[in-house]
Amino acid sequence: MQDLDQGTIEYAVSDRIARIEINRPARHNALTLAQIRRLGEELDRFDADGEADVAVLSGRGKSFCSGADIAESQMASREELAASRDQMSVGHPFFELFSRSLHHKPVIAALHGNVLGLGLGLALDCDLIVCDEAARLQVTETPRGLGGYRHLALMKARGCGIWADEVCLTGRMFGAEEARQAGLFNAVAPAGEALQAAMAMAASIASNPPLSVRETNRIRRWHFSKLVREIAFETGHLKLHLTQDFKEAVRAMVEKRKPGPFRAC
């Protein structure tokens, strides 16, 4: 068991449904590098688990996930940032968490509380999404200087159109019902009931022949990933995580002040 301040990822299976839970509630489940690596391992475990046909991904405590641990990942040295395969976070390339799947079993995200930055990107990577009506969501990568293009691709792949353009360019906070109307979520649950709603959806999926579900989801993921991978390829050279504007935005956040001036460099 890891130090709880570093966080853990919990895994359990019951009635053909795997529960994967981000467990760092004291920090609103801000993901550490160790947790990101562990999450990849637990998703691989689920993919290979003969006792599970569908998974529900949730967060313990008051939030689903408030993003990456800023002090650990985005305050890293320039050398560490430059060596990272993922511009969004030092360490495991986040976009590979689902693409490495062999069996393509569905993963349902159950969102509540803060769903920010990397946490929102993780949710958008999932196959289905249920969101608490009181959740607070934001593409924090835009004001942070990293660019919201990956979130834009994930939202466009879900058919969110011009609404996605607006929230990714402004980086503003938005709510669950607004996002549902744009087509971002499969369902919005009453406050405090997102996990129960996701589990009910999972039970409905688990009642079907598993190979039928997996093949359907394999095709869905292939089409979904095309735009995301295209944008990742087109933006890989930008290296926004190495710019002075990114450095200033992160420093301002840590120092709890208004960022700027920005230099476009």
Q: Which residues pair with 130 in a beta bridge?
A: 110, 187
- Is residue 46 a contact partner of residue 103, using CB atoms and an 8 Å limit? no
Domain boundaries, the chain: 8-254
Name the strands in the sheet holding 136-138, side by side, starting at the edge strand that comes first in the sequence: 114-116, 136-138, 173-175
Lowest mean pLDDT among 48-62, 154-168, 224-238: 224-238
Residue 30 reports pLDDT greater than 70? yes
Average pLDDT estimate for 22-32: 95
Over the stretch 175-232, which tens digit does the pLDDT of each residue have?
Answer: 999 999 999 999 999 999 999 999 999 999 999 999 999 999 999 998 888 877 777 7
Q: What is the pLDDT of residue 75?
A: 56
Report the pLDDT averaged over residues 108-132: 97
Tens-place pLDDT, residues 245-259: 888 887 887 788 988
CATH code of the domain made up of 8-254: 3.90.226.10
Return d(Cα 79, Cα 65) in angstroms, integer. Answer: 27
- For residues 202 and 196, what is the distance between their CA atoms, to the nearest angstrom? 10
Catalytic residue, from 41, 72, 133, 141: name it: 141
What percent of the chain is modeled with pLDDT above 90?
Answer: 63
Upper half-sphere CA count for residue 251 (Cβ side, 13 Å): 11
Residue 114: enclosing H or E segment and its boundaries? strand 114-116
Query: Is there a catalytic annotation at residue 10?
Result: no
Q: Which residues of 189-212 are buried (b: 16+ CB within 10 A; e: fewer)?
A: beeebbbebbbebbeebbeeeeee
More confident residue, 102 or 75: 102
The mean pLDDT value for 45-57 works out to: 97
User: Over 70: is that where the pLDDT of 13 sits?
Assistant: yes
* pTM greater than 0.85: yes
- Residue 1: what pLDDT? 37
The 3-state DSSP class for residue 14 equals strand
Q: Would you call 140 helix, strand, or coil by DSSP?
A: coil
